C-alpha cells in the first residue's frame, strides 16, 4: 500500500483487507502476533497497523521487525500487503494492548471489533479496527 493511502481519516475496505492479508502472511510464516489492529491517531493524522508480539521483549524490536520484514519481503504492492512503513511493532504487554484486552474481555469474539472515540484505562483511542486480541 502506498504511503498516500494511509493519510485519510477513514479506514478503507482496501486497508482492512490489506491488514487481514498481512496478518495471514505473518501467521503462515510463524511470526508470533498476539494482537493486530489498525490504530488512527489525530496526531500525526495517520493509520498504523499495530502488531503486538511476545518476540519484542524476547529477541528485541529490531529482530522482531526483521522477522516481519522477511515474512513480507517477496510481496508486491499490488498484492495488497501493508508495507513496513505502515506497521508499528509493540510488545504483547504494551499498556494500550492490555487496556484494549481488558475492555474487550467480556466479548466472546474479539476479532474484527471497532473502537472509536473511547477512553480505556487512561488511554484515548481515536479509532481502532481490531483483527486479533489474544
* 100-129 pLDDT, tens digit each: 988 888 666 656 688 888 898 899 999 999
H or E element: which one contains 26?
Answer: helix 13-28
Directed axis angle between helix 13-28 and helix 61-72, to 10°?
A: 100
* 78-104 pLDDT, tens digit each: 566 678 888 999 999 999 999 998 888
Confidence category of residue 5, pLDDT binned at 50, 70, 90: very low
Evaluate whether 18 touches 5 at the Cβ level (below 8 Å).
Answer: no
* 20-60 pLDDT, tens digit each: 989 999 999 999 999 999 999 877 778 999 999 999 999 99
pLDDT at 68: 93
- In the numeric block, the cell 508470533 is attached to 32
* 57-72 pLDDT, tens digit each: 999 999 999 999 998 8
pTM of the entire predicted model: 0.85
> Cis before residue 107, ω within 30 degrees of 0?
no
Amino acid at each position: 500500500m502506498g504511503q498516500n493511502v494511509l493519510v485519510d481519516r477513514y479506514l478503507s475496505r482496501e486497508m482492512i483487507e490489506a491488514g487481514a492479508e498481512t496478518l495471514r502472511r505473518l501467521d503462515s510464516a510463524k511470526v508470533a502476533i498476539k494482537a493486530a489492529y489498525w490504530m488512527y491517531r489525530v496526531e500525526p493524522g495517520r493509520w498504523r497497523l499495530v502488531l503486538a508480539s511476545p518476540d519484542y521483549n524476547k529477541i528485541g524490536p529490531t529482530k522482531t521487525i526483521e522477522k516481519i520484514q522477511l515474512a513480507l519481503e517477496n510481496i508486491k504492492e499490488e498484492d495488497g500487503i501493508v508495507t513496513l512503513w505502515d506497521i508499528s511493532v509493540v510488545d504483547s504487554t504494551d499498556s494500550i494492548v492490555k487496556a484494549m484486552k481488558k475492555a474487550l474481555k467480556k466479548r466472546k469474539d474479539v476479532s474484527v471489533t471497532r473502537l472509536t472515540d473511547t477512553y480505556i484505562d487512561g488511554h484515548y483511542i481515536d479509532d481502532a479496527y481490531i483483527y486479533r486480541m489474544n
